[in-house]
Amino acid sequence: MPERAMITLSYSTRISAVLGCEATWLSEALPHSQLHGKRLEWQIYGQRFGIRNHLRSQYPQICPRCVHHEGYCRQEWDLSIAALCVRHRCLLVDHCLKCCGRLRWDRPDLGVCHCGAILASLMERPADPGVFQIMAAVESLMAGESQTPEYWPQEGLPKVLGDLSLDGLITLIHGFGANSFAHQAGRTSQFTRVARTHEWAEILDRGVLRLRSFVGAGKSTIQELAARVSQPLLMRLANDGLCFNDAQVGRQIFEALYGKDEARRLRANHSQLELFE
Ligand SMILES: [Zn+2]
Ligand SMILES: [Zn+2]
């Protein structure tokens, strides 16, 4: 396997022989793509994802304290959105503080960098309770459990978040938090580039603040939000949501932000988005 290769389904038989585990079990834990009609979907641990960079297949991230205490990596860390550890209230780490290199899959031990340094946790990071609510929902959904919808309004966040699948929740948060300023370009990179852990922490912070301001927003707030929210990501949710509920929520929010006329044009723009896969 070349250095920094992505470990995919094709390796499952060989790896399972080394680890002494079932190849079928292992194949679920390795990312793989599947074509659904014209659309490529990504799957891991039985969950489906519409945007490849929502998976961290090439760039692992861990909570060193969890690894130290539990001795294993949590499955949700394979998702880009899982930038914070709920247990230790700190950012996950995707790089080594000693050699500054990004974490690799082929490191000598879970908590050890390929340079030999023990991976250290970062300082506790104050975060909005809404961000931890998202982390908790991601953990539940990844484990195949349902969300607790009543928690969203308690954090001042839209109730409709409770209707979303894991893929839908990630896409919506990404759409609300991706842009750091209004009218920001960069539509291709939002679909292709895997953001670093600290960048996803910022996406979460911005996403929560903007989603909270969306609840009961007046005309001027809606205008501000419409300029800041990533329209391509929201369009992806509305047009290509992997389940009916995701698409419904996407369309509802799209129409609230951009109006009925723009929502009608949504379908026409649909084909252009496929260019960015
Ligand atoms: Zn932890
Ligand atoms: Zn290192």
Q: Which carries the bigger pLDDT value, residue 269 or residue 99?
A: 99
At 125-175, the pLDDT tens digits run 788 999 999 999 999 999 999 888 889 999 999 999 999 999 999 999 999
Q: Which two tokens stand for residue 125?
A: 């990071």
Residues whose CB is under 5 A from ligand 2 (ion)?
96, 98-99, 113, 115, 117
What is the reported pLDDT for 266? 75
At 235-252, the pLDDT tens digits run 999 987 788 999 999 999
DSSP track, 147-175:
P-TTHHHHTT--GGGGG--HHHHHHHHHH
Residues whose CB is under 5 A from ligand 1 (ion)?
63, 65-66, 85, 87-88
With respect to residue 150, please indicate whether it lies within any of the assigned structural domains.
yes
Q: 220 Cβ partners below 8 Å, 6+ apart?
A: none
**99 alpha carbon to ligand 1 midpoint, in Å?**
22
Looking at the structure of the chain, the number of domains it has is 1
What is the 3-state secondary structure of 13-77? HHHHHHHCCCHHHHHHHCCEEEEECCEEEEEECCEEECCHHHECCCCCCECHHHHHHHCCCCHHH
With respect to residue 120, please indicate whether it lies within any of the assigned structural domains.
no
What is the percentage of the chain residues whose pLDDT exceeds 90? 58
* pTM: predicted TM-score of the whole model, two decimal places: 0.87
At 67-85, the pLDDT tens digits run 999 999 999 999 999 999 9
What is the 3-state secondary structure of 168-214? HHHHHHHHHHCCCCCCCCCCCHHHHCCCCHHHHHHHHHHHHHHHHHH
pLDDT band at residue 5 under the 50/70/90 scheme: very low
Ligand nearest to the CA of 115: 2
With respect to residue 186, please indicate whether it lies within any of the assigned structural domains.
yes
Highest mean pLDDT among 154-168, 176-190, 258-272: 154-168
With respect to residue 166, please indicate whether it lies within any of the assigned structural domains.
yes
**89 alpha carbon to ligand 1 midpoint, in Å?**
7
With respect to residue 172, please indicate whether it lies within any of the assigned structural domains.
yes
At 204-229, the pLDDT tens digits run 999 999 999 999 999 999 999 999 99
With respect to residue 161, please indicate whether it lies within any of the assigned structural domains.
yes
Asked if pLDDT for residue 270 goes beyond 70, the answer is: no
The mean pLDDT of the chain is 87
What is the reported pLDDT for 202? 95
What is the reported pLDDT for 111? 94
With respect to residue 21, please indicate whether it lies within any of the assigned structural domains.
no
With respect to residue 203, please indicate whether it lies within any of the assigned structural domains.
yes
The full length of the chain comes to 277
Q: Which domain holds residue 214?
A: 129-276
